[in-house]
Structure 1
């Protein structure tokens, strides 16, 4: 009886994680759905890879037979294998619509071309899970109620998100006013601020984070957009009200979001924006 209960719990958790990943991965690919298609024919996948890599991939076959679909997906998989270590995913799995393997494929693309593609602020050639975590820890150090140890339960209270915002733009709100708010309210507030003030897409809902088992991949995908946005901050700029400030020395210093001068950041920003016309096509 106990074993059966544990299996039901595991299955429920896996279902919840699948729903969360599916939702955030869809939003990452597309926030403004213009046309409806699916991943099965391989054409959208080829187009997606061209956008996130900036490379020209082989032209897709335009037939609608299964053999044409497998051929198109194989073109994407063959390309991905030149970029990443890819195992356990075949063209037939994608054509047949295997949810688990489709999510695995999309996560591979996000990890390689959304997360690792971003230059790290500390001089590293690419952003990794460890450097992203280190950046979060550095920026939120000293904030009450925040101790970033991972990309799961460290974010449940919502204060971690608000601390990242406040560390870069403390004139937006009084951080201490958030300490007595509920987790749900803090999460909703942080997501609303980043969307309205910094044009950061609201990939997550508060309910996706205020749960017992938070999905690590979803948090990483979302936090990478924070990193990309805030890494473009300059040190001697006007604040959001237009007042000139001296060079920041602590978390109370006021700065302003500006375009990063490094063309690598500009290119990455462009690639993210270019993804938006492809909403929900993957799992329909």
Structure 2
């Protein structure tokens, strides 16, 4: 889903990525992504193909992120250039928090509150879904299924879900997320 999020923005610049750990290694598409989502110009990238050019480009992107008040804990240019998937995903998640979730935030709203607001907006049209928190409102599985349906209606037939079958709803959401969205199952429905 990180790849899909990146591509939804990179498409605006007429490009995209296929492999998140490979396609940001030279820093060029990373810099372009930041330009597209921020509407600002970054310093001119180095066009060379040597490792130090790639590190310089990734550093320009990381410096830009830092200039926006984001603390990058243990994410360095070398890890991104080397294709470290954990660091690359951490960096993309940081970008999402800063530029997507924070954009829907109001005043001094925290990232958690911003994420809750995003969930509320995405699930508002769905019957039997009223997201007010990150615990009780998710127990019947409908909110999770609604989020998936909102972005990929081909994966879940929301109209056929039963509020009285929370285990079925949760298991369906987890299975669909893992199989079709590459989101690892990290929770148990029970």
* TM-score higher than 0.5: yes
Q: Is the 8 A contact 2:120 2:131 kept in 1?
A: yes
1:56-205 counterparts in 2 under 5 A? 56-83=41-68, 84-120=70-106, 124=107, 128-133=111-116, 149-150=133-134, 155=138, 157-161=140-144, 178-181=162-165, 182-183=168-169, 187=173, 205=180
Counterparts of 1:106 and 1:174, CA distance in 2: 30
Unaligned runs of 5+ in 1: 1-23, 166-172, 192-201, 215-284
Counterparts of 2:64 and 2:142, CA distance in 1: 40
- Give 3-state SS (helix, strand or coil) of 1:30's partner: helix
Structure 1 residue 130: Cα displacement: 2.4
Larger Rg, first or second structure (1 or 2)? 1
Counterparts of 1:30 and 1:135, CA distance in 2: 19
Counterparts of 2:119 and 2:26, CA distance in 1: 39
Counterparts of 1:135 and 1:53, CA distance in 2: 19
Counterparts of 1:134 and 1:34, CA distance in 2: 28
Closer/same/farther in 2, CA of residues 29 and 213 from structure 1, 3 Å limit = farther
Q: Where is the helix percentage greater, Structure 1 or Structure 2? A: 2
Q: Can you list the C-alpha shifts for 1:64-100, whole angstroms capped at 9, x where unaligned?
A: 0111111111111111110112231221111111111
Counterparts of 1:126 and 1:108, CA distance in 2: 16
Q: Is the 8 A contact 1:41 1:69 kept in 2?
A: yes
Counterparts of 1:73 and 1:207, CA distance in 2: 26
Matched, 1:25 2:2: yes
Counterparts of 1:208 and 1:108, CA distance in 2: 17
- Give 3-state SS (helix, strand or coil) of 1:178's partner: coil
Q: Can you list the C-alpha shifts for 1:216-237, whole angstroms capped at 9, x where unaligned?
A: xxxxxxxxxxxxxxxxxxxxxx
Matched, 1:41 2:26: yes
Q: Is the 8 A contact 2:162 2:169 kept in 1?
A: no
Closer/same/farther in 2, CA of residues 75 and 127 from structure 1, 3 Å limit = same
Q: Can you list the C-alpha shifts for 1:35-78, whole angstroms capped at 9, x where unaligned?
A: 66711111011000001111001111111011111111111111
Counterparts of 1:212 and 1:203, CA distance in 2: 11
Counterparts of 2:163 and 2:67, CA distance in 1: 48
Give the root-mean-square deviation of aligned CA atoms: 4.3
